[in-house]
Amino acid sequence: MYTKPFSYHRPKSLEDAVALFGKSSDPRYLAGGQTLIPTMKQRLAAPSDLIDLGGLSALAFIRKSADMLMIGAGTRHAAVATSADVKSAIPALAYLAEGIGDPAVRHRGTIGGSLANNDPAADYPAAVLGLGATVKTTKRSIAADEFFTGMFETALQDGEIVTEIAFPIPEKAGYAKFPNPASRYAMVGVFVAKVKTGVRVAVTGAGPCVFRVPQMEAALAKDFSDGAIANIKVAADDLNSDLHGSREYRAHLVTVMARRAVAGA
């Protein structure tokens, strides 16, 4: 496998990156490259220009305030998994990051790249939606409920770069995932969080895009225990089905993983 010729750029600032994007015919931003590079090798993508954001130190940070945890889009999964601030503020988020892929992926992949790609089986979308986080970009701030729009689709506009994710620090939160044994992607992953506005339950891996489960949220708001959602089932009609598991199996796993997430919160 080989790729078509392309121009490689390493901008020194976000402004430079945006300007390069605007000048190129078919550009792509490169964050960790864990999805884009394999896609190019398979010739499923052939950008004219690669604009590497990896050298922008301004995008790699973790900061904690009294009620918020801010993570730069260029922060590696491994940094999120091992950060003392993340572990103290949102332990479930550190646990989630620790379970992404393998060590090589965790030391190259970035949280911003994962969110912009919005793979239906990625872990971070569950945390962002489950915590009601805000995705900040070079143009605006986007609420989690408005950010994820479909399979590999987000509210990002052409040329827009994710710069930071602001996570409200929850009262308690938990994440449980049933991973594909080969890829470690989530066949089903559920993030449950008790926040100021109530309880949020977000599911990844089961459907074409991360989604919330209102019935579980309502039940947990009254009784935050795994038993409160034991009999709540999600409809299998619109869920994923493949050689790894049927849609009915994934529907069953949603309840199982949700209960484990609550128990671990």
Mean pLDDT confidence for 98-108:
94
Check residue 205 and give its pLDDT.
97
Mean pLDDT confidence for 62-81:
97
How far apart are alpha carbons 163 and 29 in whole angstroms? 13
CATH 2.60.40.10 fits 7-52, yes or no: no
Mean pLDDT confidence for 217-232:
98
Check residue 3 and give its pLDDT.
64
**Residues forming CATH 3.30.465.10 domain(s) in the chain:** 57-264
Higher pLDDT pick, 2 / 116: 116
Is the pLDDT reported for residue 1 higher than 60? Answer: no
Mean pLDDT confidence for 107-133:
97
CATH 3.30.465.10 fits 57-264, yes or no: yes
Cβ-contact 209, 149 below 8 angstroms: yes
Check residue 42 and give its pLDDT.
87
pLDDT in tens, 143-187: 999 999 999 999 999 999 999 999 999 999 999 999 998 888 999
**Residues forming CATH 3.30.43.10 domain(s) in the chain:** 7-52
Q: Where are the alpha helices (DSSP H) in the chain?
A: 14-23, 36-41, 77-82, 84-89, 91-98, 103-108, 111-117, 124-131, 144-147, 214-222, 247-264
Helix, strand, or coil (residue 150): strand
Residue in the block written with tokens 């605007």? 22
How far apart are alpha carbons 28 and 61 in whole angstroms? 23
CA 229 to chain centre: 24
Is the pLDDT reported for residue 4 higher than 90? Answer: no
Give the CA distances from residue 253 to residues 76, 172, 221, 234, 258, in Å, rounded to whole numbers and listed in that order. 29, 22, 21, 10, 8
pLDDT in tens, 185-196: 999 999 999 999
pTM metric for this prediction: 0.95
Mean pLDDT confidence for 220-233:
97
Of 37, 39, 73, nearest in space to 56 by CA:
73
Check residue 2 and give its pLDDT.
57
Classify residue 26 as exposed, middle or buried by CB count within 10 Å of its CB (0-12, 13-18, 19+): exposed
